[in-house]
Structure formats: structure tokens, C-alpha cells
A and B are shown apart, each in its own frame.
Chain A
Amino acid sequence: MNSRGMRPPLYSCADARKLLAHLLDQGSFIEFCGPRERIANPHLAALNVPMSFDDGVAVGAGMLNGTEVYCAAQQGAFIGGAVGEIHGAKVTGLLERARERKPGAFLFLIDSGGVRLHEANAGLIGISEMMRALLDLRASGVPCIGMIGGREGAFGGMGILARCCDHVIMNEHGRLGMSGPGVIENVMGVEEFDAGDRAMIWRTYGGKHRYLIGEADCFVDDSLEAFRSAAAALMSARTQITAQSLGAGQRDLEGRYGAFRACTDAMEIWRALGIERPEEVQLLSTADFLRVAAGRKGVPAAPQGPMEAGREKEARSPAILARLFPAGHRCEVRRGVITGRAVCAGREIAVIGTTNHTTIDIPMSLRLSAHVLATVESAPGMPIVMLVDCAGQQLSREAELLGINGYFAHLLKCLHHARASGHHLVSVVYGKALSGAFLSFGLMGDQVYGITGSEVGVMKLSAMARVTKISERQLRRLGETSAVFAPGMENFMRLGGNQEIWTAEGEVEDRLAAALRVADRDDRRRALGAERGGRTLARMVAEKVKADVAREMSR
């Protein structure tokens, strides 16, 4: 308390700029592409939603204990910290520039519900671009540290992205997950998740639980000083994504699923971890909690029982396989997941994917990642074709308890590793490609192609109308002129989200063969979106950030 009675700020209560001011060495923060630019957001204006001069994120550079770091801090209070076109481009621009300039660390202060529905398609692609840029930055040797301690937490695409960082620091107020309680209650009913039961929400997503199951690396007090010293300590502890680390990750995640999948409440997991009074855990202070958690964090050694029910192969192979690979394939289809090999243009390729508008759950995600890892190990350089037909991720409390977002992040890391090891990743969307499930593998392709008639987007307009409180009629009317939020392959195309649209009839086989010959491995989506006129701000904003870095940091 100072002489006027003011107490030191809490991480959970501070806004983005206050957080940065206190986390970094005093007065060292320099903001790039800041509010002075006053970049207008036409997508929000079209929906009569007030914009913000910074589009809900502050990006910049500063010093942490004398070491230069780059950082991005999301403004949770502005539309839930959700990612739109400008917001995403600011972060991606900085991540990309950091790769060249190699600061001591990249600090990502996450406070976001994921994709901003008012500009859903741009947000989805924007998060995917952030994911690729962040994994590339890690590969270049700059440690990325995610901090989750604000009121919005890290959900949806941001929940996956958080787990792509080297380290995650959380306090007990922070929440980390894939689908939020409100979404699950809305779709699956109050019996699945009572979104009014706050204690249960935090037991499911909160920092303590995430720390205990290994989804957060560091659990700290709700003070800025605690986050600051944790970040400083982790800065030097860089982790690398390697075949070994991913193999170990795969085993850990399988172990967690095997051990806890029957649990319906976090307290059961905590008891299984050896915590004697799980009902007391939420009330424990940080210090007491860390004492209780010491040596109990993580997973019991051996997974128990079979991973999935219904292991038998599905009799009918999806038509897409025959159409894409008339020369033959050896693909197995089980519970909506495709894995195997195929021949295309006389060349053997690996195949992963989904079918039957499936919703991806944890064991499915694990099988996809296992197949990617096996391909990298057994067939160096073999192209990987990803066939996308998924209606979303599993919406359930159990999946969230186990950290389904962490499983998706693991899949992304495996794909990143494959790319880095010389595998060409080609995605073909042939059915549904919706929201988080699309982010978790399809959008990771070097190029993404779509077959006409596919349904691509974040959510249906009716659901979007409910969440944004904007009438469906208004959304539909605006969707006719704007590609930015309404679902549809053509809209995605205009935004640069996919390379081409293939007609259903005819030569998809030849198109795939041609796609496999494309040598480009860089993320071109921003440029494509600008050229096609559907997403013009992202490129401009990312360039502006890069120019600001160049100007400010050369002083």
C-alpha cells in the first residue's frame, strides 16, 4: 500500500498496458502500431459495434531484467480479447519480425475467447497465421512464454495457441481450454455443463487444475511480480520441438487420457493424483497449493485399458479416397479418422484426415498425431495430405477436463515438426471444416485446397447471431457483400484462407498431383487475401508493425 492507500496491481485485474508497464523494466515498453494509428475496423463498424484504436491488443518490445523481449498483450475487456483481422495481424507481424531480430523471449499475455465472431473467417485464419508464426519463432531459438491470468482466459484457437508456446504460466484466476462453459451448455445442455456453476468452471479450466495435469508449466500468485520473475526464470529455459520431445508428449497425453478419461470432475483426478483433500484445493493459497502439488503433478505411469471403444475398421471407405487416389490407397478409417498411405501421381504419400462430418475428440486427435510422428520417423520427406471433413471438436466437460486444447496443440506441433523435417503438408477440404477442429490440423497445411460445396467457417450464422446479439437477418444481409464472417468456401478463398477451389466433378486427382508439386513452404495467406481483396488490412498492419520495429529498434 502506498501513501495514498493504493495497493500493487493484480495480474487478474490489470488491463493490457498496465500489465506490460509492470511486467517489463520500468518505462522500457515501446508499442508498435499503437493506438495513435487509429486504424479503422470496417468489419465492426458494419455491425454497429464500437471499435478500439488498438483492436484489442498491444504489441511491442521492452526489457525484462535488462534483456530485450518482444511482447503481445490482449485486451480481454474489448470483445473478450477475441482475435480479428487487425488484432491477429499485429501479433503475427511481430512474431515474424522477432524471428529475424531474435529477442531474448516472446511474451504472449493471452486473454481471449479465441476467434472474434464479427470477423470470424479473418479471425480463424489470423489465429492460424499466429500459430505458424509462433512455432516458426520457437524453431528459430526464441522462447515463447504464454501467460494466462486475466478474466477471459484462453479459449478456442487461443487455447490451442497457448499450448504451442514453450511455457505456460498461470495464476488461479486464469482459465485454459477449448470450448467455454457457455458454448457447451448452449449446445449440449445444462446437464453436460452448468455454466452458472463457477466453482466447477474453475475446477475444469482453472490454473490449479491445468498445473496439476501438466497443461501449465508454472503456477504463480496473482501478482505482476510473480509473473515477472517466473517469465524471467523461464526465458533461459528454452525447449525444442524434436522427435524425442514429441514422442514423449504423445506418451504423456495418451497416459493422461488413459488414466483420467473416466473422471467427471477435477476432484476425482486430483484424488487419483494422490491429493488427500481435493475439496480443499480451490481454497488453498498459492504456497500451500504448490506444497500439496509437489511431486503429484502430471500423470500416473501406465495408461489403463483400451484407448477407444469401436476400434474395428469401418467397412465403407469414404468416396473421397477413391476419387483422390484412383491408383490405390491403404487407408484405415476408424471412428471418423483416416490414416494411411496412398499413391498420387506415381508417388507414395501419407494421408491423415477425418470423415463423416465427425467431431474430433481426444483419442482421434491422438491417432492423427501418432500417424504424423510415425510418418516422419519411417518415411522422411514423404508428403502428407490432410483430408478435412469435421464439424468441430467434441463439446464435453470431460474433454475439457483433460485439456483437449493441449491435444490439438500437440497435433499442430507434430505437423510443424513434419514440415520442418521436409514434409510437404497439403490440405484438402471436402466436407465440413469448422472452427477449432479446422485449426487443429487442416489450416496447418502449406497449401489448403477446397472442393466445391464444402462448408467452411467458424459457426452457423444462427449461432453467431445468438452470441453477438446481432440479428441473423442483418448478418445474412451483410454476408452478401462481406466475405469476412459468413461461412463459405468462396469467402475463405477471398480471404486467402485457401489456395484454390476444386470442382467436385472431374480432375481432382490431377489437381492434387499438381498441388504436390508446389514447392512453396511460406505462409502466403495474408498476401493472397490482400490480392483477392477479401482481407486487405492484415497485410498492411503486419507491414506497419514490421516497419515500426525497424524504426524504433534501430534508435
Chain B
Amino acid sequence: MEKLDFTFRCSGERVESAAVSVLVGVVSSGNLEVFIEKGGDPSCCRVEVATSHGGFERAWRTLFADFLFQYDLSGYAIWINDAGAVPAVVKLRLHQAVEELMEKGR
């Protein structure tokens, strides 16, 4: 398993939610689960990835940087268990998680 740990300064649309946490996706071949939880440093977003497919740190970092440029998740932590998802699936799950969070915010 490769563990990746990033911390990002966010910009973009602020994610407001009444929900404490959200879980989307299931860990299975080519798929992943994304768990987003409130808590931690309110000035940034911490991301922790555990992946069975090592060697893609740059792609992960760029993808999160793009995503957290679009959405402000300061004060949240993102936890990921990954079984070799391609970036398309990672991005889809992140968007689904944020959409679910924002829906619960209403």
C-alpha cells in the first residue's frame, strides 16, 4: 500500500454543509471510496490517500490541486481508500461527495 498525505490551501466555491461527514463509492477493483469529514485545520484541507497502485503521486497531487481550486474545502479532511481507480473515477467521486455535502447543507 502506498500512503499519500497532502495539505492544500483552497480557493473557489465554499462548501457549506450541515453534514459532519459523507461517504461515496465502494472500494473495488478500479474504484475507490471517498470519505470527507469536517475537522482539522480550518485554513486548509488535508487529504490522505491509501492506494494499492503506487507511483502516481504527481497525478494525485495535480488532481487535488485542480479540485480544491474549484471547491473550498478548508476545515475538511478527505480520506481515500483506492483500489486502482483511474483519475476519471477519482474526480467523479470527489464531485459526488461535494454535491452530497452541499445538498445536506440546505
Contacts and interface: CB of A to CB of B under 8 A. Distances in A.
Nearest to B28: A77
Nearest to B21: A36
Contacts of A523: none
A15 B26 CA distance: 8
Which secondary structure dominates chain A's binding surface? loop
B29 to A, nearest CB: 9
B11 interface: no
Contacts of B88: none
A52 B52 contact: no
A52 B21 contact: no
A224 B23 CA distance: 21
Interface in A36-69: 36, 38, 45, 48-54
A17 interface: yes
Given A48-B52, A77-B28, A78-B27, A53 B21 contact: no
B31 A77 contact: yes
A50 B23 contact: no
A390 to B, nearest CB: 33
Contacts of B31: 77
Interface string B48-88: 00111000000000000000000000000001011100000
Given A36-B37, A51-B50, A51-B81, A78 B1 contact: no
A45 B81 CA distance: 11
A52 B28 CA distance: 9
A50 B20 CA distance: 24
A50 B82 contact: yes
Contact of B1 (A17, A45, A77, A79): A45
Given A36-B37, A45-B1, A50 B79 contact: no
Which of A48, A50, A52, A75 has most chain B Cβ within 10 Å?
A50
Contacts, number: 46
B1 A48 contact: yes
Interface string A138-155: 000000000000000000
Interface residues of B, number: 18
A62 B28 CA distance: 27
Nearest to B52: A50
Interface in A15-45: 15, 17, 35-36, 38, 45
Interface string B85-103: 0000000000000000000
A132 B7 CA distance: 47
Nearest to B23: A35
A479 B33 CA distance: 29
Contacts of B23: 17, 35, 53-54
B8 interface: no
Nearest to A34: B23
Contact of B81 (A48, A53, A75, A77): A53
Nearest to B37: A36
Contacts of A49: 52
Contacts of B51: 50
A436 B96 CA distance: 40
A52 B33 contact: yes
A50 B35 contact: no
A50 B27 contact: yes
A300 to B, nearest CB: 43
B26 A50 contact: no
A135 B1 CA distance: 39
A13 to B, nearest CB: 12
A78 B81 CA distance: 11
Nearest to A16: B26
Nearest to B83: A50
Nearest to B81: A50
A45 B1 CA distance: 7
Interface string B1-22: 1000000000000000000110
A36 B77 CA distance: 12
B72 to A, nearest CB: 22
B52 A53 contact: no
Contacts of A77: 26-28, 31
Interface of B: 1, 20-21, 23, 26-28, 31, 33, 35, 37, 50-52, 79, 81-83
Given A50-B1, A50-B52, A78-B26, 12 more contacts: A17-B23, A35-B21, A36-B37, A50-B27, A50-B83, A51-B50, A52-B26, A52-B27, A52-B33, A53-B35, A53-B79, A77-B28
23 contacts: A35-B33, A35-B35, A36-B20, A36-B37, A48-B52, A50-B1, A50-B27, A50-B51, A50-B81, A50-B82, A51-B27, A51-B50, A51-B81, A52-B27, A52-B81, A53-B79, A54-B23, A77-B26, A77-B27, A77-B31, A78-B26, A78-B27, A79-B28
